Amino acid sequence: MGTTGTTQAPAGRPGPEIWLRGPVPEPEPVPGPYPSATAPRRFSWLATHGGAGASTLAAVYGGHDCGRDWPAPGDPPSVLLVARTHATGLESALRALEVFRHGEAPQGLDLDAVVLVADAPGRLPRPLAQRIRLIESVVDVHRVPWVTEWRLGDLGGGPPRETEALARLTGVRR
């Protein structure tokens, strides 16, 4: 290396400067089709059975409510499966997971997580808790507790404190 502050690259071309003088400017943002890091990611809420709560979750957390249909081509491709925590709901969530596992979901969709909505207040019976552990072993699971206000149609109170991780995922401010 010489005293000029450059290194020698192959074929005798000067290399990059080693020392920088003065403040380093912020890099220019790269234009592209991707949302900025500060923009919340959008999701499609996909109910695995009737009454799962996808419409309520979409109203509280934002995103697109697909009901029980696959997201359409213009809908967000990031999917959050929704099920209740009763036996039928958990079984339907497991069936939907199998669809993704076998590659039978429409191309371009990404399964981000399963959101389990409490079907009643209180603790779950052991067999249901075991099924939830099975689901948790293959995918991220977010649990939403029983919210009496939601049952009464009051969705204005925001997400429950216990769903902080889901609120962060969907970009909802508490």
**Span 32-41, pLDDT tens digits:** 444 444 556 7
Residue 22 lies in a domain: no
Provide the residue range defining the domain that includes 119: 44-170
* Rounded to 5°, angle at Cα 152 from 63 and 58: 5
In this prediction, residue 174 carries a pLDDT of 60
Rounded Cα–Cα distance for residues 62 and 40 (Å): 10
More reliable by pLDDT, 149 or 174: 149
Residue 17 has pLDDT above 80, yes or no: no
What pTM did the predictor assign? 0.77
* Rounded to 5°, angle at Cα 163 from 159 and 169: 95
In this prediction, residue 15 carries a pLDDT of 46
Residue 111 has pLDDT above 80, yes or no: yes
More reliable by pLDDT, 47 or 15: 47
Q: Is 99 exposed, middle or buried (0-12, 13-18, 19+ CB in 10 A)?
A: middle
57, 166 Cβ separation under 8 angstroms: no
CA dihedral 66, 70, 75, 80 (to 10 degrees): 70
Cross-strand bridge partners of residue 83: 116
Residue 146 has pLDDT above 80, yes or no: yes
In this prediction, residue 158 carries a pLDDT of 87
Residue 16 lies in a domain: no
Residue 149 has pLDDT above 90, yes or no: yes
User: How many domains are there within the chain?
Assistant: 1
Region 5-25 average pLDDT: 48
Rounded Cα–Cα distance for residues 94 and 102 (Å): 12
Residue 150 lies in a domain: yes
Region 128-135 average pLDDT: 97
Residue 1 lies in a domain: no
Strand order across the beta sheet in which 110-117 lies: 64-67, 44-47, 78-84, 110-117, 141-144
Return the DSSP state at 71. P
In this prediction, residue 52 carries a pLDDT of 97
Residue 9 lies in a domain: no
In this prediction, residue 34 carries a pLDDT of 43
CA distances from 157 to 47, 49, 82, 154 (A): 23, 26, 21, 7
Residue 15 lies in a domain: no
